[in-house]
């Protein structure tokens, strides 16, 4: 199937759909990738089938573009859109056009988020990392970003994911310790590059990033960064998380820089 190996096929389903496609229940008609996919699509609900087909279509389009190959299927776009229309009754916009609405958060909600962050800081050092991941999931959920729990693929840990303006972002989190340098940034970016072409990343380091590390990491990457001061500014000034991320993404697109402080993006 396309350029999928057995491993990348499994990782695709784990990261995009949180599905273990290697589960024997999907291999009742055979263990090949095509047979497991067909069984999965026949047994899942229509909404999951649509999400699966949309993700596969984007991967297919990227594969054909990257390889320079002509589409081997006649009228593939029309046939694909017809299938999606039948599954959705013609009412659901395509994945690429979906833009989640901005979810306003009232002051009481922001006060609770700030209190949750203080609770993380009060924990013993060994517990802070896991608690910080949980805090960030709650923060993303409060702003309607469809956060996912941390999950593990073969050989790597992903600290979570979320949706922003129809784009999928993987999350890397660090609580305390030295400021993040180029090695950690390259490691995280390597995880992003192994995923679908539309995948992006957010690295949240409470202790920040070294200037040398950011300079060596370079520009034009698929990662944006936040530090503890960003979180403080955002919560203290009651700036919606969605606006913070959107401005960081736009500034990264304009300048190539992965990290711009909130106080620079939202001057007083």
Task: Pick 112 or 262 by higher pLDDT.
Answer: 262
- % pLDDT > 70, the chain: 89
Closest CA to 99 of 166, 146, 168, 198: 166
Closest CA to 172 of 127, 125, 219, 225: 225
| Average pLDDT of span 178-182 | 93
Burial classification of residue 221, based on how many CB atoms lie within 10 Å of its CB (0-12 exposed, 13-18 middle, 19 or more buried)? buried
Q: Does residue 97 have a pLDDT over 60? A: no
pLDDT of residue 225: 97
- Taking CA 98 as the corner, what is the angle to CA 145 and CA 110, rounded to the nearest 5 degrees? 25
Contact present, 64 and 57 (Cβ < 8 Å): no
Strands (E) in the chain, as ranges, are: 151-153, 156-158, 161-164, 167-174, 200-205, 223-227
Give span(s): CATH 3.40.1350.10, the chain. Answer: 107-265
CA 89 to mean position of chain CA atoms: 28
Q: Domain 107-265: which CATH class?
A: alpha beta
CA dist 96 and 18 (Å) reads 20
Mean pLDDT of the chain: 83
**Which two tokens mark 188?**
């995280």
Closest CA to 150 of 173, 123, 125: 173
pLDDT tens-digit series, residues 63-82 = 777 677 777 777 777 777 77
pLDDT of residue 198: 79
Helix axes 228-236, 241-255, angle to 10 degrees: 130
The owner of tokens 């389009």 is 61
pLDDT tens-digit series, residues 184-240 = 999 999 989 888 777 899 999 999 999 999 999 998 889 999 999 999 999 988 899
Distances (CA, A) of 106 to 1, 163, 180: 47, 21, 33
pTM: 0.62
Q: Does residue 130 have a pLDDT over 50? A: yes
| Average pLDDT of span 52-70 | 75
Q: Does residue 96 have a pLDDT over 70? A: no
pLDDT of residue 181: 95
């Amino acid at each position: 199937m396309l350029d999928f190996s057995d491993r990348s096929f499994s990782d695709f389903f784990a990261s995009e759909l949180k599905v273990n496609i290697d589960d024997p229940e999907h291999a009742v008609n055979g263990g090949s990738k095509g047979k497991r996919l067909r069984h999965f699509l026949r047994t899942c609900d229509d909404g999951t089938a649509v999400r699966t087909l949309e993700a596969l279509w984007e991967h297919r389009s990227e594969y054909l573009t990257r390889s320079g190959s002509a589409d081997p299927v006649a009228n593939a776009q029309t046939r694909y859109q017809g299938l999606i229309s039948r599954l959705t009754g013609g009412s659901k916009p395509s994945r690429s056009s979906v833009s989640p609405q901005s979810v306003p958060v009232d002051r009481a909600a922001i006060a609770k988020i700030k209190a949750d962050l203080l609770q993380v800081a009060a924990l013993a050092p060994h517990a802070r990392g896991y608690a910080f991941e949980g805090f960030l999931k709650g923060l993303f959920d409060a702003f309607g970003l469809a956060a996912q729990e941390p999950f593990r693929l073969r050989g790597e840990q992903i600290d979570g994911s979320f949706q922003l303006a129809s784009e999928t972002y993987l999350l890397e989190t660090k609580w305390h310790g030295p400021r993040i340098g180029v090695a950690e940034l390259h490691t995280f970016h390597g995880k992003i590059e192994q995923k679908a072409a539309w995948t992006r990343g957010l690295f949240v380091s409470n202790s920040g990033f070294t200037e040398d590390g950011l300079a060596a990491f370079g520009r034009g990457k698929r990662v944006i960064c936040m530090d503890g001061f960003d979180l403080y500014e955002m919560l203290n000034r009651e700036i919606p998380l969605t606006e913070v991320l959107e401005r960081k993404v736009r500034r990264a697109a304009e300048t190539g820089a992965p990290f711009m402080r909130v106080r620079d993006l939202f001057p007083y």
